[in-house]
């Protein structure tokens, strides 16, 4: 019985398990922030401009079966607004920040003058065409 607990302790103590747990918790918290941004700020803004964006009452009936296509439209609307919020609030600023960081760095690779393959900037000989690059 002791070895089972020892194995469990090793499993939990691994870095990747702890990192995964932290990522799940952070992801859940971030999901709540994005949902609140969309529900509390973006949706009322769109409602103020275009009218109430609630399509849940839209439906049609065929042979007694009700098709609530308005709920589908609401789900698509929520997906698009959440995706837009994540892109414009997280992805775009992070890409700009990464671009700014890279501007000040020397490139890691360069083109071989003979075969135009990407090679390490420090290379003295091309790994592809074996051209001598020592200068």
pLDDT in tens, 58-78: 899 999 999 998 888 888 888
Average pLDDT over residues 78-83: 84
How many other C-beta atoms are found inside a 10 Å radius of the C-beta of residue 112?
Answer: 19
- Confidence (pLDDT) at 2: 64
Say which residue the tokens 């870095």 belong to: 15
Q: Is the confidence at residue 1, as pLDDT, over 70?
A: no
Do 126 and 119 touch, CB atoms closer than 8 A? yes
Cβ atoms 132, 120 nearer than 8 A? no
CB-CB contact of 33 with 57 (8 Å): no
Mean pLDDT of the chain: 83
**pLDDT at residue 84 above 70?**
yes
């Amino acid at each position: 019985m002791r070895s089972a607990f020892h194995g469990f302790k090793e499993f939990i103590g691994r870095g990747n398990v702890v990192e995964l747990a932290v990522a799940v918790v952070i992801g859940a918290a971030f999901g709540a922030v994005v949902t609140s941004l969309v529900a509390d700020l973006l949706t009322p803004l769109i409602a103020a401009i275009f009218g109430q964006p609630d399509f849940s009452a839209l439906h049609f009936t065929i042979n007694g079966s009700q098709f609530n296509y308005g709920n589908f439209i609401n789900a698509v609307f929520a997906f698009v607004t959440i995706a837009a919020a994540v892109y414009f609030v997280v992805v775009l600023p992070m890409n700009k920040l990464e671009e700014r960081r890279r501007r000040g760095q020397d490139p890691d690779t360069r083109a071989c003058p003979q075969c135009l393959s990407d090679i390490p900037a420090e290379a003295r000989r091309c790994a592809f065409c074996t051209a001598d690059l020592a200068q």
